[in-house]
Structure 1
């Protein structure tokens, strides 16, 4: 039994809090805070209606460290679950250190003024958390998160070494909007428009954004265009799998999304540098995010499936030579909405956040310092994916991918 404090009130947070409430034997006291308390109250009302469990709500600016410290001391949680924006990771980690509480997030820190997704800022906190006797778990979402666990499960049960790794993220859902993002618009567009990078022969290879693509036939979705991108789990996977020769991340986008994004880029709406407008300073991308549909509002109209997984090639554990395995999860948008009131992209991140939290508060994943998902036994996490709505499947392929 434990008390948890969740920061952030978007779609991922909504899923995570709903799933925590469905597991009251683990999370007996749930507290939710964000800059907009009304969003917390709406999630709490839905949780109460669906599960009968109460959620306490608060207003907080997560970048205000003294206020965060006060809130943590008031709630006295055993774990702070950061589901706010990546810009806020470091202030929340500072507050956890000052208040003496463990920390978990789903996405690595990035500075506001540069689309730079790196773990270096958070890895630098390792000694401070270790000295304080505290644990910080980074990236307990789907990608990063589940994809890292998938890879380490293959390394434990199927492959002695992993030579090549491809992570494929397909959202085959249709939300009926001309243009909308399925998670935070600002973070989504910053990711997509950043240069692509992949790991090859011990170094990073950079290519222009959205320039390299391939086709892949995704089960229960169909054939889709997948674009080479940079994603933060590539950094941690290349660190924890030293024999890795090549690691790539691919994400699918429809032609309409690409068309709209191209126009928005061309007219400057995806820029992150402040501009002056009518005497006020605004960031174009933040303004764009404010006028786009909120991801948490898309659940009711979204249909179809997500299909996210890893294809790994390496030396078989049983000594039978080189083999290739594909491990993935397929998630129904409709089923996710029926269970939690949120679409599948929020669900596939919110459920792993709950699972990582459960493993921490139960002491099944434990340590002192800052850790990535790859550093723990994958089996307990994989078991809980099957139990809590994200079942996975693994098959042997004929050989390495040809793209």
Structure 2
């Protein structure tokens, strides 16, 4: 049984902590104690109250500035966790990793590092920690969310059990939920908008292919949602999958957006509200996108009003025993069911549950190693089993043929 320190107090963190507490209440391990820390301790206390009411488990709370390495180091030394679970902002990955190095503590996150001043999503900054983590005898697990995370596991599981060789991978992320707002994002608005407005990139025949943001659209009929327009985007699991499963000739990532969302986003871009460079306002510098984040609805507040389903999966083509085939593995998650269980909407749920599962596999010794790892480097079977057991069941089907686009 092991103690964990969770950093961040948004919707994803709330789900992960609720799911960890469920295992403590059931006495099924591997968690023993939870400390939840964030810059705003009142958010931690609100999550702790919900966890206590729903599971009967009491968790500790603390205030922390995750950008402050000495303060993070001191908190880890005080709590003495077996694992630090980073569910804060991607900007804070490196300071938290530095604190884990200073204290020889294992580390997990759900999204790769990105610098504050540039919408650039790469693993290289974290992969550069490989030798330091290995020499320290500790482990870092990167991207234990849904995408990245579950989508990486889906791919490696297909490779292990159903393909001798994978040729193409398409990751399809559909949120069919309706939150009733004119414009809101289902996770951190600043990260969401930076991601959506960045140029699209996919991997094909050994090279990156870059296209303008939102310039490639396809319609797809998603089970439990219906037909939706989805757009080609860049996502970090493309980089890790092409690195660790280099046989794959093409990897693409698609995400659905409604027309109203795209119209609002275009207007905000046109008036400069999505800029991430500083502008002067009343004698001081502000970042327009950070100001926009402050006036948009808090994603964690959308749970009660969000209705519908998410549908996220992987379509892979390849060969088994000399025969070409196309397989589709996916999860469908109900926003209403997620809220009933944890008080959070489905987008938070689909990221928070995998964060708990990755943490559990590290603490139980199922996944071990010294250094920095991505999800697809480990045996996918225990993770796939836990998805079925903890609220994110998956299905597998064979398609008639490859995608026509």
Q: TM-score range by the shorter chain?
A: over 0.9
Aligned to 1:348: 350
Aligned to 1:149: 153
Aligned to 1:125: 129
Counterpart pick for 1:369 among 365, 368, 371: 371
Q: Secondary structure at the match of 2:3?
A: strand
Question: Which whole-Å CA distance do the structure 1 matches of 2:185 and 2:246 have between them?
Answer: 35
Which consecutive residues of structure 2, in runs of 5 or more, have no partner in the other structure?
none
Question: Which whole-Å CA distance do the structure 1 matches of 2:361 and 2:381 have between them?
Answer: 11
Counterpart pick for 1:241 among 211, 236, 245: 245
Q: Which runs of 4+ in 1 moved over 4 A?
A: none
Counterpart pick for 1:66 among 44, 65, 70: 70
Q: Secondary structure at the match of 2:164?
A: coil
Question: Which whole-Å CA distance do the structure 2 matches of 1:31 and 1:390 have between them?
Answer: 25
- Aligned CA RMSD, in angstroms, stands at 0.5
Per-residue displacement from partner, 1:332-368 (whole Å, max 9, x unpaired)? 0000000000000000000000000000001100000
Counterpart pick for 1:96 among 84, 100, 109: 100
Aligned to 2:12: 12
After TM superposition, give the deviation of residue 213 of structure 1 in Å.
0.6
1:202-351 equivalence runs, <5 A: 202-316=206-320, 319-351=321-353
**Are 2:6 and 1:2 equivalent residues in the alignment?**
no
Question: Which whole-Å CA distance do the structure 1 matches of 2:281 and 2:165 have between them?
Answer: 55
Question: Which whole-Å CA distance do the structure 2 matches of 1:279 and 1:9 have between them?
Answer: 32
TM-score normalised by L of structure 2: 0.99
After TM superposition, give the deviation of residue 320 of structure 1 in Å.
4.6
Question: Which whole-Å CA distance do the structure 1 matches of 2:246 and 2:176 have between them?
Answer: 33
Per-residue displacement from partner, 1:103-137 (whole Å, max 9, x unpaired)? 00000000000000000000000000000000000
Per-residue displacement from partner, 1:241-287 (whole Å, max 9, x unpaired)? 11111110000000000000000000000000000000111000000
Question: Which whole-Å CA distance do the structure 2 matches of 1:111 and 1:170 have between them?
Answer: 27
TM-score normalised by L of structure 1: 0.99
Which consecutive residues of structure 1, in runs of 5 or more, have no partner in the other structure?
none
Question: Which whole-Å CA distance do the structure 2 matches of 1:335 and 1:26 have between them?
Answer: 25
Q: Secondary structure at the match of 1:329?
A: strand
Q: Secondary structure at the match of 2:326?
A: strand
Question: Which whole-Å CA distance do the structure 2 matches of 1:129 and 1:100 have between them?
Answer: 8
How many residue pairs were aligned?
401
Question: Which whole-Å CA distance do the structure 2 matches of 1:290 and 1:203 have between them?
Answer: 38
Question: Which whole-Å CA distance do the structure 2 matches of 1:248 and 1:114 have between them?
Answer: 22
